[in-house]
Structure 1
Amino acid sequence: MNIVLIGSGNLATQLSLAMKDAGQHILQVYSRTEEHACELAEKIGCRYTADVDEIDKNADIYVISVKDDAISELAERVSKMVVKGVLVHTAGSISMDVFKGKVQHYGVLYPMQTFSKNRQVDFRPIPCFLEASDDVTLETIRQLAESVSDHVVLADSAKRKKIHLAAVLACNFTNHCYRLAEKVLQEEQIDFNLFLPLIDETAKKVSVLSPKQAQTGPMVRYDVGVMNMQIDLLNDDRTKQIYRLMADSIHEDATSTDDTCRQPKA
């Protein structure tokens, strides 16, 4: 499959490396920053450009992997040059309709993972959520997705927005909690690496227990004495507020009668 990659950020970098390893033919990389386009093109062995008007017009599929607020403008410009190719974007929260009325064949390929440019990931276990304008286009996008991932799932725009929201809560919010913990430890010059076994075990538990069943700590018991002491140890009002909100949310969930949580694995 002949592919033009539009973007050179974290996701674009890792997806392009996975596509290359899968034997896909990447014709060209476009980025508005020429240095970034050149850097990625060298990694995957293809041409590059920083001029939208120079994007190759003969690709089978154009993968737009840029910031969410740049997708619409790029879709508008690229669609004026694409005659037969499929346009897809890789965003979780942007509707497929961003392409509607611009091109005939379009869709979404959303890999749900956290990506960094310089940390290569194994794409095979990463779920990829697909949506397409028609069945023929869906088959094209599916072939590309299945070449890099073992978990390809159909999800319309409304469902994908909820998936992305859940991903933000599970990943970005969790990582920020790591950062808040790191700042507390830095005050006492304690190595954050000492917390990696705790972080690893917390992540491993939810592979066999639901998050509700895996929750422990003073908030579950609502140990007010411990919680107030910990709040007093925090040095800024924002983090104190986060602590209180999280504490109440954890306790309310732990004591609720909600039985919709995932059943533990055998």
Structure 2
Amino acid sequence: MIRITIIGSGNVAQHLIKAFAKSELVEIVQVHSRKKEKLATLLEFDKITDSFEDLKEADLYIIAVSDNSISDVSQQLPFQNRIVVHTSGAASLEVLDSKNRKGVFYPLQTFSKDKDVDFSAVPMCLEAENTFDFRVLETAAKGISNVVFAINSDQRKALHVSAVFVNNFTNHLYQIGQEICEEHQVPFEILRPLIQETAEKINTLNPADAQTGPAKRNDSLTIAAHLDYLNTENQKNIYKILTQSIQNNGKKL
């Protein structure tokens, strides 16, 4: 059994706590949080500490904080030569303090506070400096997920940038669509089946093959009408950029 300490209390940390609590391969030794009460509903209060000096010995320490805080947190750890990893998709191994053995334990998923996640389907992207440490990470990852990958820092950066496109940017487009609907008193719910169908296509089709719409068909009259209909420059600019990108992709094919 892998004994784990989690440092952090945000969305990623809280979802990891919930997932590890159900695992038979992992034991949560301790969780560090500056606000202990924030985690009081997730585990025993005596397992929560707000002091780095009070951290107990564990097989693996997972830093689940903002990217900007990883380096500072790793420097404050009062021990050496233990396995310390972060959960960031963008940060490299080098942000971790060299007094400990470095690694990455990156769950590639979007985490929201009040939305439960089935961790068994979450891809776990792992990186370590040696084979022994990787096996520790792999055991911990397999304790909560059925999808585990060895991913180096450069590959993880590519994944994270790609994830911003397919997740964050896509969700922002949902928001714009909702704003347009609300502005014209149209229920956004009407679009939900379309959103669902588009997402499900990715299970069977290459994204380029699944592309449809006026840009793909080069329906210039429809494109012009849409641009004339949109009320803000931001919406018009986004529409133009994405239309041009789709059309340029078609030329490459």
Q: TM-score, normalised by structure 2?
A: 0.94
- For the Cα contact (< 8 Å) 1:219–1:251, is it kept in 2? yes
Q: CA deviation at 1:212?
A: 0.3
**Distance (whole Å) between structure 2 residues aligned to residue 232 and residue 29 of structure 1:** 54
> Cα deviation per residue 1:39-89 (whole Å; 9 max; x = unaligned)?
3243133522233333x13121111011101101001111xx124531010
**Distance (whole Å) between structure 2 residues aligned to residue 44 and residue 212 of structure 1:** 45
Q: Report matched runs for 1:1-266 at 5 Å.
A: 1-23=2-24, 24-32=26-34, 34=35, 37-46=36-45, 47-54=47-54, 56-78=55-77, 81-83=78-80, 85-99=82-96, 101-103=98-100, 105-257=101-253
- For the Cα contact (< 8 Å) 1:58–1:85, is it kept in 2? no
- For the Cα contact (< 8 Å) 1:2–1:27, is it kept in 2? yes
**Distance (whole Å) between structure 2 residues aligned to residue 110 and residue 239 of structure 1:** 33
> Cα deviation per residue 1:194-230 (whole Å; 9 max; x = unaligned)?
2110011000111101000000000001212111111
- For the Cα contact (< 8 Å) 1:57–1:82, is it kept in 2? no
- For the Cα contact (< 8 Å) 2:107–2:125, is it kept in 1? yes
**Distance (whole Å) between structure 2 residues aligned to residue 243 and residue 50 of structure 1:** 47
Q: Which amino acid aligns with 1:88?
A: V
Percentage identity across aligned positions?
A: 36
- For the Cα contact (< 8 Å) 1:60–1:86, is it kept in 2? yes
> For 1:238, what is the secondary structure of its paired residue?
helix
**Distance (whole Å) between structure 2 residues aligned to residue 40 and residue 163 of structure 1:** 30
Q: CA deviation at 1:100?
A: 5.2
Q: CA deviation at 1:118?
A: 1.3
- For the Cα contact (< 8 Å) 2:70–2:96, is it kept in 1? no
Q: Which amino acid aligns with 1:224?
A: S
**Distance (whole Å) between structure 2 residues aligned to residue 75 and residue 102 of structure 1:** 9
Number of aligned pairs?
A: 250
> For 1:59, what is the secondary structure of its paired residue?
coil
Q: Which amino acid aligns with 2:23?
A: A
Q: CA deviation at 1:21?
A: 0.8
**Distance (whole Å) between structure 1 residues aligned to residue 79 and residue 132 of structure 2:** 17
Q: 1:27 to 1:38 in 2, by over 3 A?
A: farther
Q: Which amino acid aligns with 2:48?
A: Y
**Distance (whole Å) between structure 2 residues aligned to residue 194 and residue 219 of structure 1:** 22
5+ residue gaps, structure 1, are 258-266
Q: CA deviation at 1:239?
A: 1.6
> Cα deviation per residue 1:208-257 (whole Å; 9 max; x = unaligned)?
01000000000001212111111122221112111100000011112322
- For the Cα contact (< 8 Å) 1:3–1:63, is it kept in 2? yes
Q: Which amino acid aligns with 2:93?
A: M
Q: CA deviation at 1:192?
A: 1.5
Q: CA deviation at 1:26?
A: 1.4
> For 1:25, what is the secondary structure of its paired residue?
strand
**Distance (whole Å) between structure 1 residues aligned to residue 12 and residue 236 of structure 2:** 34
5+ residue gaps, structure 2, are none
